[in-house]
Amino acid sequence: MELEELGIREECGVFGCIASGEWPTQLDVPHVITLGLVGLQHRGQESAGIVTSDGSSVPTFKSHKGMGLVNHVFTEDNLKKLYVSNLGIGHTRYATTGKCELENCQPFVVETLHGKIAVAHNGELVNAARLRKKISYCLQPWSSVISIYILLVQESPTPVLGTGTSLWLVRNQATQQEVSASASWYWSVYKF
């Protein structure tokens, strides 16, 4: 029996890169992410995007997205514009919901109550209907899976933490306890 007959198929590709060491790093983060996306191209051919950041407490975000294959979306010129970074995420899209439009191209940079984050995902939230009800006071009927997840994360209670512990990491871990995902999520969190 073929995999597609079993309902098994690939949906989107997500790739992240973090360069260690002193800034500026010797690693060309945008090119590494592009190569990763080329390797994941079979998982999504509709659009591709990359968001990079310097990871500082007041982050600088650079983003480039486009419709089509990775090698059509990214050129040397637009990759140079992404090079302010020592970390970033990339995404190739295969739509399961939503239209095939640039506005649905990931990763997204989102302003939250606690600062900006960049997020990309692959898959669906299995319990999205229950989660929508939980946060219905601030959702529109068209709210996406990413909107639901971000609202859940930002609404998570702020725990008392030790020095150097990321509030976003703890919020994300708490949210993961509530979410049933048939997905992989990659969060590039720049505001701690």
In a domain, 4, yes or no: no
* Residue 7: pLDDT band with limits 50, 70, 90: low
> For the domain that residue 83 is a member of, what is the CATH number?
3.60.20.10
Q: Which helix (H) or strand (E) holds 63?
A: strand 61-67
Greatest alpha-carbon pair distance for the chain in Å reads 53
Measured CA to CA in angstroms, residue 103 lies from 11, 47, 65, 66, 94 at distances of 18, 10, 9, 10, 14
How many structural domains does the chain have? 1
Other CB atoms within 10 A of residue 119 CB: 23
Per-residue pLDDT at 159:
60
3-state DSSP call for residue 176?
helix
- pTM of the prediction? 0.76
More confident residue, 97 or 164: 97
Greater confidence (138 vs 122) lies with 122
Q: Is 12 a catalytic residue?
A: yes
- Among residues 12, 17, 100, 105, the one annotated as catalytic is 12
The mean predicted confidence, pLDDT, of the chain is 77
Does residue 137 lie in a domain region? yes
pLDDT band at 9 (very low <50, low <70, confident <90, very high): low
Query: 172 lies in a domain?
Result: yes
Determine contact, residues 40/94, Cβ cutoff 8 Å.
Answer: no
The answer to whether position 69 is within a domain reads: yes
DSSP, collapsed to helix, strand or coil, labels residue 121 as strand
Question: 3 lies in a domain?
Answer: no
Higher pLDDT, 163 or 88: 88
What is the rounded CA–CA span in Å between residue 70 and residue 117?
23
Please indicate, yes or no, if residue 1 is contained in any of the structural domains: no
pLDDT of residue 184 exceeding 60, the answer is no
154 lies in some domain: yes
Q: Is residue 86 part of a domain?
A: yes
